[in-house]
Amino acid sequence: MMVRNVDIAVLGAGPAGMAAALAAAQGGAITVLIERENHLGGILKQCVHDGFGLLRFGEKLSGPEYAGRFVHMVREAGLPVLTSTFVAEAHRNSEENILMLVDRSGVTELHAKVVVLATGCRERSARQVMIQGTRPAGVMTAGAAQYYVNVLGYLPTTRCVILGSGDIGLIMARRLTLEGAEVLGVFEAKSTPSGLSRNIAQCLDDFGIPLHLSRTVTRIFGDDHVEAVETAAVDEKMRPVVGTEERLCCDGVILSVGLIPENEVGEALGVPMDPVTKGPVMDQNGETQVPGVFVCGNAGHVNDLVDYVTESGERAGAAAAAFVAGRHKGRLLPVMVDSTVLLYAVPQFVDMDSPESHAVVYFRSREELGTTLVQVAARGEMVARHRYQHLRPPEMERLEIDLSLIPADATSLDIGTESIVAAEVKS
């Protein structure tokens, strides 16, 4: 069996992986970009709608256009790319990562000083939202429906309901409607939508598609193929309310019920995971708790903007190259969130000796909040603050912390709203 050595192996050639590989190569490391498909671009290839790249390029691009710009950069940089190549197994010895790669020529053992995980995320499936019973055709995730319509050119349903109000579900409500299918409604068990408000406006309201909040699909009828669904209102504990059931005839159930970071390779390499984000515990440069394993993009935590995915890829790639050149992380400060207000914040740790003067922290709120002042405190001193007009769980927010403002004896960074910081100052 062939054995090869590289400095950095980037796994996944979506927006995170392409940005990471470009930054790693620019940092002087021998880098290889590994992709299991025959195309670069990841999920962006099937995201034909626009809205990508406003922060990055100041333009509203479609997914393929955004990906295309990075594909051209990868080609121009002459970056070694291994497509149709699958990581079948991964483990570590004392100093490096060992990946068993399978491609059309066979199996190769790749030794990499650093692995950058850019493996993206997966959609939660019907089984994961407790839809049990028979498996009639016609139940599929929004991403699968998107692949059928946009890549294969098939219309997988003529009359459907959408369960869950995630962004891909909203985008597919519009897409299926435009292609001639009838979308009866979007059903969301929670009392607030999961997708961005602009997608509710431009994907549902534009086409008169109803959004039913606090209502879910309780049963799917049909043996070989979906024939109907039963929907029902749910109470605050998400239990169906008896007497509110309604039967709708349809041939499709499209699921948009959440995304989960994909970390099979990371787990094989022994990377500790955060149970809330379902991604690796990391610092602001994407370095995990296993030296020589970095993460970026949706494998780290699910983002709602590709622009932020690219940003995280660039940081991880540059830091991975610095690691190869001999840089080791410094003192790590844990980032603590007020979990009554915020769902999570990433990174989980800030490397105080990072070469970048600022650390970028992303966070989501637990519930919808009005105008809110979010503050970061260290040893009771405020080191960053930003006023947000509103905070909503579907909208990830971004905050920059100037590392030079953090007191040398700080033991943690505490993120909360004004009252929390005030309480700390007093104590």
Partner 1 sequence: MRELTCIVCPNGCSLQVNQDVDPWHITGNLCPRGIEFARKELTNPTRTVCSTARTSFAAARRLPVRTRGEVPLASVRSVMSEISCLVVDREVQTGDTLIENVAGTGVAVVATADLADLIEGEDRNGRSICSGD
**Residue 169 or 222: which CB sits closer to partner 1?**
169
Residue 167 in contact with residue 306, Cβ under 8 Å? no
Residue 10 in contact with residue 24, Cβ under 8 Å? yes
Residue with the two structure tokens 């055709």 = 137
Tell me the C-alpha to C-alpha distance, in Å, between residue 10 and each of 153, 272, 300, 332, 382: 31, 19, 14, 24, 37
Q: What character string, x for contact with partner 1 (CB under 8 A) and - otherwise, covers 198-217?
A: x-xxx--xx-----------
Question: Minimum distance between the CB of residue 49 and partner 1, rounded to whole angstroms?
Answer: 5
Total binding residues toward partner 1, as defined by CB under 8 A:
55
- Under rule CB under 8 A, which residues in 231-260 are in contact with partner 1? none
Cα 394–chain centre separation: 12
Residue 19 found at the interface with partner 1 (CB under 8 A): no
Residue 114 in contact with residue 227, Cβ under 8 Å? no
In whole angstroms, give the CA distance from residue 400 to residue 406.
13
Which residue stretches of 33-119 are H helix? 54-57, 63-76
**Residue 71 or 229: which CB sits closer to partner 1?**
71
Residue 7 found at the interface with partner 1 (CB under 8 A): no
Q: Which helix (H) or strand (E) holds 293?
A: strand 293-295
- Under rule CB under 8 A, which residues in 331-370 are in contact with partner 1? none
State the burial class of residue 378 (Cβ atoms within 10 Å of its Cβ: 0-12, 13-18, 19+): buried
Cα 100-104-110 angle, rounded to 5 deg: 25
How large is the greatest C-alpha to C-alpha distance in the chain, in angstroms? 66
Per DSSP, the three-state class of 376 is: strand
What 8-state DSSP symbol labels residue 225?
B
Residue 162 in contact with residue 185, Cβ under 8 Å? yes
Residue 284 found at the interface with partner 1 (CB under 8 A): no
**Residue 82 or 268: which CB sits closer to partner 1?**
82
Question: Minimum distance between the CB of residue 419 and partner 1, rounded to whole angstroms?
Answer: 24
| Region of 49-57, 231-239, 277-285, 347-355 interacting with partner 1 (CB under 8 A) | 49-57
Which residue stretches of 137-235 are H helix? 142-147, 167-178, 197-199
In whole angstroms, give the CA distance from residue 376 to residue 420.
10
Residue 386 found at the interface with partner 1 (CB under 8 A): no
Among 36, 48, 129, 352, which residue sits at the site for partner 1 (rule: CB under 8 A)? 48
Question: Minimum distance between the CB of residue 368 and partner 1, rounded to whole angstroms?
Answer: 12
For residue 244, which of 235, 229, 228, 232 has the smallest C-alpha distance? Answer: 232
Q: What character string, x for contact with partner 1 (CB under 8 A) and - otherwise, covers 141-170?
A: --------xxxxx-----------------
Question: Minimum distance between the CB of residue 201 and partner 1, rounded to whole angstroms?
Answer: 4
| Region of 191-199, 249-257, 315-323, 414-422 interacting with partner 1 (CB under 8 A) | 191-199
- Beta-carbon count within 10 A of 372 CB: 17
Residue 96 found at the interface with partner 1 (CB under 8 A): no
**Residue 69 or 219: which CB sits closer to partner 1?**
69
Which residue stretches of 155-259 are H helix? 167-178, 197-199
Question: Minimum distance between the CB of residue 37 and partner 1, rounded to whole angstroms?
Answer: 8
Among 132, 371, 389, 427, which residue sits at the site for partner 1 (rule: CB under 8 A)? 389
| Region of 59-67, 209-217, 220-228, 318-326 interacting with partner 1 (CB under 8 A) | 59-67
Among 21, 87, 90, 101, which residue sits at the site for partner 1 (rule: CB under 8 A)? 101
Residue 377 found at the interface with partner 1 (CB under 8 A): no
Q: What character string, x for contact with partner 1 (CB under 8 A) and - otherwise, covers 292-321?
A: ------------xx----------------
Tell me the C-alpha to C-alpha distance, in Å, between residue 300 and each of 2, 29, 167: 31, 22, 19
Question: Minimum distance between the CB of residue 15 and partner 1, rounded to whole angstroms?
Answer: 15
Question: Minimum distance between the CB of residue 154 and partner 1, rounded to whole angstroms?
Answer: 9
In whole angstroms, give the CA distance from residue 419 to residue 365.
16
Question: Minimum distance between the CB of residue 200 and partner 1, rounded to whole angstroms?
Answer: 7
Among 26, 80, 358, 379, which residue sits at the site for partner 1 (rule: CB under 8 A)? 80
**Residue 131 or 265: which CB sits closer to partner 1?**
265
- Which residues fall within 8 angstroms of residue 322, CB to CB, at 6 or more apart? 27, 355
Residue 325 found at the interface with partner 1 (CB under 8 A): no
User: CA torsion, points 14, 322, 362, 188, in degrees to nearest 10?
Assistant: 30
In whole angstroms, give the CA distance from residue 150 to residue 142.
12
Residues in contact with partner 1 by CB under 8 A are 2, 4, 32, 35, 37-40, 45, 48-51, 54, 60-65, 68, 71, 75, 80-85, 101, 103-106, 108, 110, 149-153, 178-179, 196-198, 200-202, 205-206, 304-305, 389, 395
